[in-house]
Amino acid sequence: MFICVSTFYKVRINLLYKTIFFNVCDSAQLGDPCNIKSTQLALEGRGNRAPTNQDGARKLGTEMSQEREGKYGRELDVAVQAIQLACVLSQRVQERLLDNEEVAGSKNDESLVTVADWGVQAVVTWVLSQAFNEEEIPMVAEEDTRDLRGMEGMAMLRKVVHAVNECLMESSVMGIVPPRQPLGTIDVLKAINRGTTKGGPVGRHWVLDPIDGTLGFVRGDQYAIALAMVENGEVVLGVLGCPNLPLRSEWLNYHHRYYRVASKLFPPSPGVWHKGCVMSAQRAGQAWMQPMIFDGTTFRQSVAPQLVSVSGIVDPAQARFCEPVEKSNSSHSFTAGLADTLGLRKQPLRVYSMAKYAAVARGDAEIFMKFARAGYKEKIWDHAAGVLIVQEAGGVVTDAGGRPLDFSKGRRLEGLDRGIIACSGKKLHSKIIEAVDASWNSSTL
Ligand SMILES: Nc1ncnc2c1ncn2[C@@H]1O[C@H](COP(=O)(O)OS(=O)(=O)O)[C@@H](OP(=O)(O)O)[C@H]1O
Ligand SMILES: [Mg+2]
């Protein structure tokens, strides 16, 4: 028993050191790979190293100029600013959780919740309310204020109000005019309650998941802040804040705590990009990634967005698929069977949250599959932003019957056929659909 445990840790420590060593060697090659300038050169394919498929976003390139154009350009500008600001709040709360200065709570339905879930919802809706008229910002969002009521909710509410004001006071860093005076408790509750809209097929509404992957968030791992806009039942704009998504895609193989240890042992130089990005897209446009540079717990400077696109790999043997971390959210045994049938040889990438969509959109993985237990109804906020970003990066997203996801039916994705498949291209996508059909009847889902 002792030998088994010690071998297990030896292997893990070895792996960690190998990766650190690999990173350090690579740093030497690139000068400083995390340096904004060399990273941008590399992103543009002008660095001193040929970009490879393993480089994920690094192989991609055009830099976006100033403000976004297109039909939803202004909305997208505001949405990106709101998400960038929200990432400041969420990163700060995650650090506090990891330092045990903060604890997660649970809602009435027993799901996990933190100061950041409510805080981000308040910050994002407040930013939108400063930029648009009341009638332009109906919102379908995950959180409401029920669990903040009464004596039990009071302590949490106080922390939420504090976190929101602490964050809004810094909003000028993101080009957002801060409030003249701190928001009161009622203002914060009102902002959160904007998220109770029903959605549906008519008109425009925003869709927000303030902290997607709360479990990953609490564990110090990947999570996402997801904002989308739906117009007449179609997602037309999507923004994903992924503050822990590493620059180097191979780091997605590890729990983020290894990454934290490694960056403590070998701290990246100040002002350099090593993790965190905001991805964004508008319909019939392109998909963009804006690196985030934190100094401690706040943004230091903003870096120009870069165009991203999906991987060009079509051979299943070379392709990597990602899926939810938790077996209870998606059947790992069913996807393992599919992987076998399809000839996917690489280990699945298990990543919390919509960071999985981000991974497919920027070429870290070719496939994202999710097969929830029968009877589970997917929520629109868990998918809207990610689906559009993958599509605009050149990918395909459908249910397992090959039909587009339907965002026009309110707060839930009604009529979903079996599961969700997001893919870098049509060829891989149709192979997966065929494999699902072939194995569905013998599955226990
Ligand atoms: N099958 C099923 N049952 C219950 N809840 C589910 C399921 N699938 C997804 N979810 C909700 O979606 C969020 C995270 O899902 P992921 O797909 O990223 O899974 S995982 O965290 O990687 O395991 C997470 O929600 P939030 O973190 O609150 O946004 C989960 O509660
Ligand atoms: Mg979610």
Task: Identify which of 125, 361, 72 has the alpha carbon closest to the alpha carbon of residue 231.
Answer: 72
Q: What is the per-residue pLDDT for 426?
A: 97
- Tally the residues of the chain: 445
Q: How far apart are CA 258 and CA 150, in angstroms?
A: 40
Q: What is the per-residue pLDDT for 55?
A: 37
Output the CA 6–ligand 1 centroid distance in Å. 33
Q: Using CA positions, which residue lies closest to atom 29 of ligand 1?
A: 212
End-to-end C-alpha distance for the chain, whole angstroms: 35
Q: What is the per-residue pLDDT for 300?
A: 62
Task: Identify which of 155, 170, 144 has the alpha carbon closest to the alpha carbon of residue 87.
Answer: 170
CATH class of 321-440: alpha beta
Q: Using CA positions, which residue lies closest to atom 21 of ligand 1?
A: 352
CA atoms in the 13 A half-sphere facing the CB of 141: 29
CATH class of 73-308: alpha beta
CA distances from 53 to 49, 98, 102, 366 (A): 13, 33, 39, 11
Task: Identify which of 139, 99, 96 has the alpha carbon closest to the alpha carbon of residue 115.
Answer: 96
Residue type, 57: A
Q: What is the per-residue pLDDT for 2?
A: 42
Output the CA 221–ligand 1 centroid distance in Å. 14
CA distances from 264 to 257, 292, 330 (A): 10, 19, 33
Strands of 172-233, DSSP E:
204-212, 224-231
Q: What is the per-residue pLDDT for 64?
A: 55
How is residue 323 written in tokens? 């899926």
How is residue 162 written in tokens? 């504090």
CB neighbour list of residue 31: distance below 8 Å, 6 or more residues apart: 38, 48
Q: Phi, psi (5° rounding) for residue 191?
A: -60, -45
Which residues lie across from 239 on neighbouring strands? Answer: 227, 280
Domain spans in the chain, listed from the N-terminal domain onward = 73-308, 321-440
User: From the alpha carbon of 211, which atom of ligand 1 is closest?
Assistant: 29
Q: How far apart are CA 418 and CA 327, in angstroms?
A: 16
Q: What is the per-residue pLDDT for 59?
A: 35
Q: What is the ipTM of this complex?
A: 0.96
CB burial of residue 412 (10 Å; 0-12, 13-18, 19+): middle
Question: Per-residue confidence of the chain (445 residues) as pLDDT tens digits?
Answer: 444 444 444 444 444 444 443 343 333 232 233 333 333 333 333 332 223 333 333 333 455 545 678 899 999 999 999 999 999 999 999 999 999 998 999 888 888 999 999 999 999 999 999 999 988 999 999 999 999 998 889 999 999 999 999 999 999 988 899 999 999 999 999 999 999 999 999 999 999 999 999 999 999 999 999 999 999 999 999 999 999 999 888 888 888 888 878 888 888 777 778 899 999 999 999 999 999 887 665 666 567 889 999 999 999 999 999 999 999 999 999 999 999 999 999 999 999 999 999 999 999 999 999 999 999 999 999 999 999 999 999 999 999 999 999 999 999 999 999 999 999 999 999 999 999 999 887 776 7
Q: How far apart are CA 383 and CA 402, in angstroms?
A: 16
Is the CB of 213 within 6 Å of ligand 1? Answer: yes
Q: What is the per-residue pLDDT for 163?
A: 98
Q: What is the per-residue pLDDT for 67?
A: 67
Task: Identify which of 366, 104, 308, 67 has the alpha carbon closest to the alpha carbon of residue 217.
Answer: 104
From the CA of 445, the nearest ligand is 1
Q: What is the per-residue pLDDT for 198?
A: 95
Is the CB of 147 within 6 Å of ligand 1? Answer: no
Global pTM value: 0.87
Q: Is 73-308's fold the same as 321-440's?
A: no
Q: How far apart are CA 256 and CA 286, in angstroms?
A: 29
Q: Using CA positions, which residue lies closest to atom 1 of ligand 1?
A: 329
From the CA of 215, the nearest ligand is 1
Residue type, 204: R
Pairing of strands 321-323, 224-231: unpaired
Residue type, 303: V
DSSP annotation of 385 reads H
Catalytic residues: 117, 214
CA distances from 395 to 126, 362, 366, 398, 428 (A): 32, 10, 9, 10, 10
Q: What is the per-residue pLDDT for 441?
A: 78
Q: Using CA positions, which residue lies closest to atom 8 of ligand 1?
A: 329
Is residue 123 a contact partner of residue 160, using CB atoms and an 8 Å limit?
A: no
Is the CB of 382 within 6 Å of ligand 1? Answer: yes
Is the CB of 114 within 6 Å of ligand 1? Answer: no
Q: How far apart are CA 437 and CA 418, in angstroms?
A: 10
Q: What is the per-residue pLDDT for 415?
A: 95
CB burial of residue 150 (10 Å; 0-12, 13-18, 19+): exposed
How is residue 176 written in tokens? 């957002």
Reduced to 3 states (helix: H, G, I; strand: E, B; else coil), residue 91 is helix
Q: How far apart are CA 16 and CA 25, in angstroms?
A: 14
